[in-house]
Amino acid sequence: MRTVIAVAAAIAMLAASLWLARPASADAPPEGIDVSGHQGNVDWGAVAGAGIKFAMVKATEGTSYTNDYFAQQYVGSFNAGLIRGAYHFGLPNASSGAAQANFLVDNGGAWSADDHTLPATLDIEWNPYGASCYGMSGASLVAWVHDFVNTYKARTGRDPIIYTAASWWNDCTGGATDFVATNPLWIAHYGVSAPNMPNGWPVYTFWQYTSTGSVPGVNGNTDRNIFNGGLDRLLALANNT
């Protein structure tokens, strides 16, 4: 994922090594990765063999980009026994939230009740192509997110996950709390023992704790994540129970 969070690489690598050094146990929180076209084809058998339990896969961006490797990554992770989820990189200044939610659903991001598929994620963060907040007011961005999440729920029956960073969310949406009660939070914050939280969210559901992780079966660095709960709760989120 293309989060532009300014942290020192050495600190991020240290954080990753601390997580990787934790002994495995039956009640250890599930570890996951997220991948995009940058990772290309992934050896999902090797990923699963390394103890990774879930994978987030980039599906779409705006209303024109689809990940060329999506099928290999999304279907491959499922076939290897991982819990998988799709994500969409939102571009609020490009088209409506509804248009982008429909584009995601139409290109692989719909939810399926198959025991191993999470609701999709809206990745909403710094604009990689221009002004950080997309040249939009906080109220306009919040309205855009409402348009996206409402459309996704209407199409799939599920509330999507929201991926963001506390600093971007608080600055660009004015610290909006509209989605705290409905949308699970996937927070990005590297090189810390606990992530900063966006205004209103008391807990995170997923935490992306490094962008420089190393996992067998994945070429180069990959983002690493942890789920805030046991595997049974991750399955419950997938199953909508």
Tell me: the pLDDT tens digits for 15-53? 333 333 333 445 689 999 999 999 999 999 999 999 999
Name residues whose C-beta falls within 8 Å of residue 224's C-beta, 6 or more positions apart in sequence. Answer: 16, 19, 31, 32, 33, 208, 209, 210, 213, 215
Its pTM stands at 0.90
Of the candidates 31, 61, 125, 223, the residue annotated as catalytic is 125
pLDDT of residue 1: 57
pLDDT (average), residues 196-208: 97
Q: Which CATH code is given to the segment(s) 9-22+30-239? A: 3.20.20.80
Of the candidates 31, 61, 123, 223, the residue annotated as catalytic is 123
123 is catalytic: yes
Of the candidates 31, 34, 61, 223, the residue annotated as catalytic is 34
Name residues whose C-beta falls within 8 Å of residue 205's C-beta, 6 or more positions apart in sequence. Answer: 161, 184, 185, 186, 227, 228, 229, 237
34 is catalytic: yes
Please tell me the distance from the alpha carbon of residue 53 to that of residue 69, in angstroms, as a whole number: 20
Domain boundary assignment for the chain: 9-22+30-239
Dihedral, 128, 217, 233, 186 alpha carbons, nearest 10? -10
